[in-house]
Structure formats: structure tokens, C-alpha cells
A and B are shown apart, each in its own frame.
Chain A
């Protein structure tokens, strides 16, 4: 199993550009989520999905869109990048939700918006 994979590893965008961060898992996990990590802030939930076709907002959803057309993939779209979105982005998955279930994290995408 590859686990949770994320692409790209690094990305530099100009303000106003759009892009999609890719996330895939091969463990047949029902639950997938996106977090952003900023210095001194821990990780904050952006969006999550409890299955194909079902998504919901987390703590910091503004400026981001998600969709889940398959169990394996959960892309994160930045519609119009802003410097405040400079961060490290982690995708995670688990069998079911967050109660009692280990989250498997991808290696992260480091995004810089200039």
C-alpha cells in the first residue's frame, strides 16, 4: 500500500492564481480530510468527507473547495490564491471519522503564495 499520497510537494503561486492539491489513498478509507499547518497554530481542519459524494466544512474553509467523486481521491482547490494561504497542507484519511480511529497523514504540500 502506498498509504496517503499528496502532489505536488512544493508549489509557488502568484496572488489570484488557482490550483488543485491532489490527495489519494489506497486503503479504502471512508473518511478523508484536509488540514493546514501554520507555525505555532497546530493543524486546522479545512474540509472533510465521510464518503464519495459527501463533503463538509471544517474550521477554516474560506477560499477552498473540495469534491469527492471517488473513495480514493480528495482534491483541494484554491480558487484565487492569497498570501494568507501560504501554509503546509496535509491530507489525512481513516477508516471511519475521527473518534478512536487513527488518521493516516500524507507527507504534505508546502505552498507559497506571493
Chain B
């Protein structure tokens, strides 16, 4: 079954420093992978998606992620954190049927001045 594991439940960075949120996936075939962001008391918004095209995926707000099959990883990065990046981030995989998503447990990103 397709699943994802987010390796950190909380990450704290200073404004202007790089962001790294780690995600490993488990899948018996090439998966569709996503990163979603949830700001406090809001719904979820898609940051980026991987669907077996380019392995380096660029998303909104300066975020990007690299699909590494050899490491079964799909880590999310951003060169320079903004205060507005503080939120909950979810790594997500589409289940093989194409009709369900499996969410990681989330990483809470704190950005300090």
C-alpha cells in the first residue's frame, strides 16, 4: 500500500534561513506525490505535485521538492523562510486506485524573527 512518513513533527527555522521538511514514501510503483500546506484555522492548499515527469518539482511561494527514487524520499525545501511560511505541511501520496489520498501526520513549521 502507498504511504508516506514525515520524519519531523516540528521544525523551527529563523527567518531568511533555508527550510527542509522531510518525507519518505512507500510505494510498489511510481507514485503521485504532493505537498499541501495548512495555515492556522484554514483549509489545505496545494504547494506542488510530482507525477512522474521532472524529478525536481517547483511549487508556489518559492517551495520545491525533489523526487528521489533511490532514497524513496520527497523532501520539501525553500531557500529562505518568510514569517508567512509558518504553517502545517502535509506530504501526501495518491493510493493506487486513484481515488484516495494517504496523508502524512504533518510537520509544523515555526519561523522565528
Chain A residues with a Cβ under 8 A of chain B: 4, 31, 33, 35, 40-45, 48, 50, 56, 58-59, 90, 92, 97-100, 102-103, 105-108
How many angstroms between the C-alpha atoms of A76 and B103 in the bound complex? 20
Query: Which parts of B37-67 form the interface with A (CB within 8 Å)?
Result: 42-46, 49, 51
Partner of B32, one of A33, A35, A48, A100: A100
Are A103 and B99 in touch, CB under 8 angstroms?
Answer: no
Indicate if B105 sits at the interface (CB-CB under 8 A): yes
Query: Would A102 and B101 be within 8 Å (CB), given that A107-B43, A108-B43 are in contact?
Result: no
Give the residue among B32, B44, B105 with the most A Cβ atoms within 10 A. Answer: B44
Chain B residues in 8 Å Cβ range of A102:
46, 49
Q: Kindly specify which of B12-20, B71-79, B90-98 makes contact with the partner chain.
A: B90-98
CB proximity of B12 to chain A, nearest CB, Å: 18
Query: Would A98 and B101 be within 8 Å (CB), given that A40-B9, A42-B90 are in contact?
Result: yes
How many angstroms between the C-alpha atoms of A58 and B51 in the bound complex? 23
Are B51 and A98 in touch, CB under 8 angstroms?
Answer: no
Are B104 and A42 in touch, CB under 8 angstroms?
Answer: yes
Chain A residues in 8 Å Cβ range of B104:
42
* Residues of B contacting A: mostly: loop
- Ordered by A's residue number, 11 sampled pairs between the chains whose C-beta atoms are within 8 Å are A40-B9, A42-B90, A43-B90, A48-B100, A58-B100, A98-B99, A98-B101, A99-B32, A100-B49, A100-B94, A103-B44
How many angstroms between the C-alpha atoms of A50 and B99 in the bound complex? 8
Query: Would A56 and B99 be within 8 Å (CB), given that A42-B106, A43-B90 are in contact?
Result: yes
Chain A residues in 8 Å Cβ range of B103:
35, 42-44
CB proximity of A46 to chain B, nearest CB, Å: 10
7 more contacts with CB within 8 A, not counting A44-B103, A99-B51, are A41-B105, A42-B106, A59-B100, A92-B44, A102-B46, A102-B49, A103-B46
